[in-house]
Amino acid sequence: MKKIFCWTIVFVLTLIFPVSALADAIDPPVGEAVVSLGADLNQSQQKQMLELFGVKEDEVKILKVTNQEERDYLLGLIGEDKIGTRAISSAYVEPLEAGQGIEIETHNITWVTREIYANALVTAGVENAKVIAAAPFKVSGTAALTGIMKAFEEALDIELDEEAKEIANEELVTTGELAEEIGKDEAAALIKEIKEEIAKLKTKDEGEIRKIVIEIAANLNINLSQDQIDQIVELMKKISNLDLNVEKIAGQIEKIAGSLDDVKRVVEENKGILRKILEAIEKFFAWLRGLLG
């Protein structure tokens, strides 16, 4: 009787919770960490990178990234001085559980910030990963994105969309160039805000995209030249075709969004100070008009 009862329970549970449903409830396995090393690093520099990443050569899968691979994405987007002729930038990528978002550290990266990397990685389709971009000496960091994407694909045995990877590199370069003119945090915050708004509205219309760019720049108190506006609009037209999810954008970079939020906070504070200054000037001229009759 006990056996019949047990098998009856199993049968009932199978009817209520089909096997497929149980399988869907199990999260996909998290992949192993992967390291991508610049192909032109010497043995000492490779060892230095592995020590920085906290792994040993026999403990982790190691990929090599060549300068040609870097050039395939960057040539035509940025000057030769930032691409270089050797593959030096390296990366550590460790997949995280769903919902953990993107975590980024950088070492000896001078031109690309954590926030700029994170924005570009979300565009490329990278998610839930701990990332360390590094070099044995100071480099721009533009080429590291190639190694990060390559390591992420290897870690999860997937292929990111090629168009998304190309657009991500363009986004990184565009944001980096903006950063030279308006500030690194400001540039990253601007691109993130614009991208989120376009994803939320799901617009592909150039006129609407241009309006969004101008309005968000004004809200962040950022002055853009016409050339800069045109450049951002062209980038966002491409990003709009990727149909990014606004919640995913925000969720993936939540852990490093503090500095971007600080930009908006400072802008609001400065607006308050500016209003007080204008009010003081108005009061002064009102007093002066009264004094002069």
Which residues have a Cβ under 8 Å from the Cβ of 269 and sit 6 or more positions away? none
Give CA separation, 227 vs 74, 103, 137, 177, 224, in Å. 20, 32, 33, 12, 8
* Angle (CA) 32 106 254, round 5°: 75
pLDDT by residue for the chain (293 residues), tens only, comes to 544 444 444 444 444 444 333 333 334 445 799 999 999 999 999 999 999 999 999 999 999 999 999 999 998 888 888 888 899 999 999 999 999 999 999 999 999 999 999 999 999 999 999 999 999 999 999 999 999 999 999 999 999 999 999 999 999 999 999 999 999 999 999 999 999 999 999 999 999 999 999 999 999 999 999 999 999 999 999 999 998 888 878 888 876 665 445 544 544 555 455 455 556 666 655 655 666 65
Angstrom distance (rounded) from CA 83 to CA 95: 27
Give me the pLDDT at residue 268, please: 52
Residue with tokens 């989120």: 196
Torsion of CA 202, 206, 208, 211, to 10 degrees: 130
pLDDT at residue 123 in the model: 96
In angstroms, rounded to a whole number, what is the distance separating the alpha carbons of residues 174 and 160? 21
DSSP letters of 176-231?
HHHHHHH-HHHHHHHHHHHHHHHHHHT---HHHHHHHHHHHHHHTT----HHHHHH
Burial class (CB in 10 A: 0-12, 13-18, 19+), 158: exposed
> Residue 39 carries which DSSP code?
T
Tally DSSP H helices, then E strands, for the chain.
13, 5
Question: In sequence order, what are the beta bridge partners of 75?
Answer: 78
CA distance 195 to 198: 5
Cα 167–Cα 170–Cα 176 angle in degrees, nearest 5: 140
Query: Is residue 90 within 8 Å of 35, Cβ to Cβ?
Result: yes
Q: What are phi and psi of 182, to 5 degrees?
A: -120, -5
